[in-house]
């Protein structure tokens, strides 16, 4: 597969986008049928003949692919021999052993193309110097993709990684970068460190922050408090991205910040309800991904477990393909409180609007068969807020009144920064599964 230098597909009209996706989807289904043991058996079992597969209109006839099937026997999904594998990526493996994802040279070109389109939509060009302040090693796909994408647009890369704050700070003060890719909480930490030494982060000249791994927008696409802080302290435009190694595809905000752009030549996205049926246009549901043009470990109808909605109206940037909303939460984190559905992210976002709260996490218990009990544990900056007044403030923002407990900063942080987890734990699920 050769990828064009200029982005085109997302700017096409809906009819052309559909025709392109149909063609690429038929190619991908035929390819996996011929090369993947897992899908050949599955398609034979469901009596689906790839020769009669008509593309998007037949997509629902293919079974969904569960993450568990992939982690149980990844070799069944591998479509290429050892000599064709250029790189073995690994997922972060937060809940289980990392998944190993073989990438061919064409897959690496696809990654570079995907990420170059994302960076161009952010307004980055060959004139930019961009710090990649996330792991480019540890076999992660993301850091490699950022590097390849920035190289493809001709930008200069500064591969600081994320392990040493001192190294990142020294680099950004010496090398005059204009952009940075990192998790937003690291960007905030860097700004605070600079400020503590009397340096205003805005004077560094970083004008674009591509934020990965954590949300910087609310459900209505406005910046959340973390996104606002970053924009203000760095005097930069902040961009959200959504991606996973299994999808091998990233969705990134453009300069209009109106959701993560879907690149129609690289992926088909469905939004499904709990029963596996498509939701109405614009409604929330689970993101089910069928990446296109993948050779090493292509997946059909992969259940991501992430709850999002598709924004189908054309974007002000001129791209007509849909955008993906910020992730509302994970399917398995969905809470049922008094008949309403809510995700921990939404509760955390309501908490972050209360300035006096310093750190917080959410816990869920299943005391009753039909309703979950939600507890919010917080530590406060010097404040006269009480557990009662916080619960009251949260109930005004949410549709229920959570239980609130105030603890010391040390107690809350010990629970959030659990040494057994790579990521901060902001949601503890004590419900029996």
Q: How many residues bind Zn ion (CB under 5 A)?
A: 4
Reference 344, options 330, 326, 358; nearest CA is 330
**CB of 254 or CB of 308, closer to Zn ion:** 254
Tokens encoding 50: 């790839």
The nearest distance, CB 210 to Zn ion, in angstroms, is 15
Query: Are the C-beta atoms of 426 and 408 separated by less than 8 Å?
Result: no
Q: Which residues pair with 227 in a beta bridge?
A: none
Closer residue to Zn ion (CB): 93 or 282: 282
Q: Is 122 in the site for Zn ion (CB under 5 A)?
A: no
Cβ 295 to Zn ion, closest distance in Å? 29
Taking the complex as a whole, how short is the minimal distance between the CB of residue 124 and Zn ion, in angstroms? 14
Dig out the tokens for 62 from the structure.
Answer: 């293919």
Q: Which is nearer to Zn ion, 195 or 313 (CB)?
A: 313
DSSP state string for 356-406: TEEEEEEEEE--SSS--EEEEEEEESS----HHHHHHHHHHHSSS--EEEE
Instruction: Note whether 190 and 165 are within 8 A (CB).
Output: yes
Least distance in angstroms from the C-beta of 238 to Zn ion: 15
- Nearest approach in angstroms of CB 143 to Zn ion is 25
Whether 122 and 239 have beta carbons less than 8 Å apart is answered as yes
- CA dist 372 and 268 (Å) reads 34
* DSSP strand pairing (179-182 vs 129-132): parallel
> d(Cα 379, Cα 416) in Å, to the nearest integer?
12
Considering only residues 216 to 255 of the shown chain, the ones binding Zn ion according to CB under 5 A are 254
In the complex with Zn ion, which residue's Cβ is closer, 226 or 254? Answer: 254
**What track of x and - describes contact with Zn ion for positions 14 through 53 (by CB under 5 A)?**
----------------------------------------
Closer of 265 and 295 to Zn ion (Cβ): 265
What's the count of helices (H) and strands (E) in the chain, helices before strands? Answer: 11, 21
Least Å distance, CB 275 to Zn ion, is 32
Exposure letters 304-318 (e unless 16+ CB within 10 A, then b): bbbbbbbbeebbeee
If you count them, how many residues does the chain have? Answer: 433
Which residue lies nearer to Zn ion by CB, 313 or 388?
Answer: 313
Shortest gap between Cβ of 313 and Zn ion (angstroms)? Answer: 11
Residue closer to Zn ion, measured from CB, 48 or 118 = 118
Q: Which residues within the stretch 304-363 sit at the binding site for Zn ion (CB under 5 A)?
A: 315, 317
**Based on CB atoms, which residue is closest to Zn ion, 117 or 416?**
117
Provide CB contacts within 8 A for 385, sequence distance 6+. 354, 356, 357, 406
Vertex 228 angle, CA 227 and 234, to 5°: 90
- Nearest distance from C-beta of residue 325 to Zn ion, angstroms: 13
Provide, rounded to whole angstroms, the least separation between the CB of residue 237 and Zn ion. 13
Residue 254 to residues 39, 120, 122, 395, Cα–Cα distance (Å) = 35, 8, 5, 34
Nearer to Zn ion, 250 or 315 (CB): 315
177 and 210 in contact (C-beta within 8 Å)?
Answer: no
3-state DSSP call for residue 36?
Answer: coil
Which segment (180-188, 241-249, 256-264, 290-298) binds Zn ion by CB under 5 A? 256-264
Identity of the residue, 136 or 254, whose beta carbon is nearer to Zn ion in the bound complex:
254
Is 315 or 346 the residue whose CB approaches Zn ion more closely? 315
Report in angstroms how near the CB of residue 371 gets to Zn ion at its nearest: 40
Shortest spacing between CB 11 and Zn ion, in angstroms = 10
Q: From CA 416, how far away is CA 396, in angstroms rounded?
A: 25
Q: Which residues sit at the interface with Zn ion, rule CB under 5 A? A: 254, 256, 315, 317
């Amino acid at each position: 597969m050769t990828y064009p230098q200029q982005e085109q597909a997302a700017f096409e009209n809906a009819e052309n986008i559909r025709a392109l996706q149909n063609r690429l989807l038929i190619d991908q289904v035929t390819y996996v049928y011929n090369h993947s043991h897992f899908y050949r058996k599955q398609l034979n079992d469901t009596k689906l003949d790839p020769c009669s597969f008509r593309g998007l209109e037949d997509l629902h006839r293919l079974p969904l692919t569960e993450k568990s099937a992939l982690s149980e026997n990844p070799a069944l999904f591998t479509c290429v021999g050892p000599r064709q594998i250029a790189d073995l990526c690994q997922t972060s493996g937060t809940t289980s052993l990392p998944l190993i994802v073989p990438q061919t040279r064409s897959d690496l070109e696809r990654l570079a193309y995907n990420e170059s389109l994302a960076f161009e939509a952010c307004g980055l060009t060959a004139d930019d110097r961009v710090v990649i302040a996330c792991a480019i090693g540890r076999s992660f796909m993301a850091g490699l993709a950022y590097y390849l994408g920035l190289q493809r647009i001709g930008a200069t890369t500064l591969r600081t990684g994320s392990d040493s704050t001192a190294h990142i700070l020294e680099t950004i003060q010496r090398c005059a970068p204009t952009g940075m890719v990192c998790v937003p909480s690291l960007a905030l930490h860097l700004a605070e460190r600079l400020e503590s030494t009397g340096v205003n982060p805005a004077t560094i000249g970083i004008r674009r922050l591509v934020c990965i791994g954590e949300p910087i927008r609310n459900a209505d696409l406005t910046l959340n408090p973390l996104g606002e802080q970053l924009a203000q302290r760095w005097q930069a435009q902040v961009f959200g991205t959504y991606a996973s190694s299994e999808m091998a595809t990233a969705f990134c905000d453009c300069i209009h910040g109106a959701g993560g752009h879907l690149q129609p030549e690289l992926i088909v996205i469905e939004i499904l309800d709990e029963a596996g049926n498509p939701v109405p246009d614009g409604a929330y549901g689970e993101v089910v991904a069928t990446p296109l043009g993948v050779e090493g470990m292509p997946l059909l109808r992969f259940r991501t477990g992430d709850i999002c909605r598709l924004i189908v109206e054309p974007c002000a940037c001129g791209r007509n393909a849909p955008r993906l909303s910020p992730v509302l939460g994970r399917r398995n984190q969905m809470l049922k409180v008094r008949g309403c559905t809510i995700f921990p992210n939404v509760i955390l976002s309501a908490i972050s609007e209360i300035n006096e709260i310093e750190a917080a996490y959410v816990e869920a218990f299943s005391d009753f068969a039909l309703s979950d009990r939600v507890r919010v544990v917080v530590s406060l900056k010097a404040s006269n807020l009480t557990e009662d007044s916080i619960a009251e403030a949260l109930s005004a923002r949410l549709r229920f009144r959570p239980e609130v407990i105030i603890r010391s900063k040390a107690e809350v942080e010990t629970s959030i920064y659990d040494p057994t987890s790579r990521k901060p734990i902001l949601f503890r699920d004590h419900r029996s599964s």
